[in-house]
Amino acid sequence: MQKRVLGKSGLEVSALGLGCMGMSFGYGPAHDKKEMISLIHKAFELGVTFFDTAEMYGPFTNEELVGEAIAPFRKNVVIATKFGFKKGPNDGQRWTTFDSRPEHIKEVAEASLKRLNIETIDLFYQHRVDPEVPIEEVAGAVKALIQAGKVKYFGLSEANAQTIRRAHAVQPVAALQSEYSLWTRDPEGEILSTCQEFGIGFVPFSPLGRGYLTGKMNETTTFGDNDFRGLLPRFKPEALKANQVFIELLNSIAERKNATVAQIALAWLLAQKPWIVPIPGTTKLERLKENIAAVEIVLTAEELREIESGAAKLKVQGSRYP
């Protein structure tokens, strides 16, 4: 497995990380804990050293899963988790309320450390920007945690360029995590240029379009009650059908490279910047191996131009969120 450094932070990780959310949350019922621990162990054996979780995944159970899984090789991996939400009323499972008050950040850090069973959080992201709390206060709170030895690096997620700049002035931002793939290209331009300016690593989540860019879905695909993709406009039948043009574009390259559509989608992302580290999630060993093999695929300048020119003619149908 190749290694990459997240910007100027010095934080070195595997060129491809593993997003662990889907093991416990978001895409249907939680998977068997022993099977997921085995999968994380296999990921490590195959060279993955960067694992992504959050308190709200489960909630809480994903951090516990990841903590138990990485215990045998804790010193050899980087663990990223997140703060920034709080449980709402009703059943306590809804995390629609922002909360990045400094006192809450400290509470989340302490709770996450216990669930993960670690002494220090390697990378602590603000999960989403809280409009009620100045980002300077958020960065200051994480800075205090870093000074106390509870956290090593500060990260943001889905933040705009101005927010990144303001936060970075208080506490250097090591990484920005936002959705980025061939069919979600919002970070291009100002966001990526800001990351480059300040030496901030970029961690694309959903680099395979929540599974769509694997080429395994079409307009007949259905989603269970616990799978939030069923609520997303981009996963409605008409959008699933219309967006097949992206799969056709990737497949034309994949056939020539003796690769899969998913591998070309990941290879394209890796080729964008040397400080980009995608974190595709999976619950299947075969998909894990397939994703990791994408690191070895080198797209030529001509192939990258072909993808770029082809994608420029296409328009994604359906918004990211309702």
User: Is the previous residue joined to 59 through a cis bond, with omega within 30 degrees of 0?
Assistant: yes
Scan for tokens 């250097």, then name that residue. Answer: 172
CA distance 132 to 76: 37
Residue 25 has which token pair? 């949350």
Chain CA centroid to CA 287, Å: 16
Task: Report whether 30 contacts 76 (CB < 8 A).
Answer: no
Parallel, antiparallel or unpaired: strands 12-14 and 3-5? antiparallel
Scan for tokens 């809280």, then name that residue. Answer: 130
Task: Report whether 15 contacts 4 (CB < 8 A).
Answer: yes
| Residues acting as catalytic residues | 57
State the alpha helices, DSSP H only, in the chain. Answer: 33-45, 61-70, 102-116, 135-147, 161-170, 190-198, 237-242, 244-257, 261-272, 285-293, 301-312
How many other CB atoms are there within 10 angstroms of residue 95's CB atom? 19
Amino acid found at 202: F
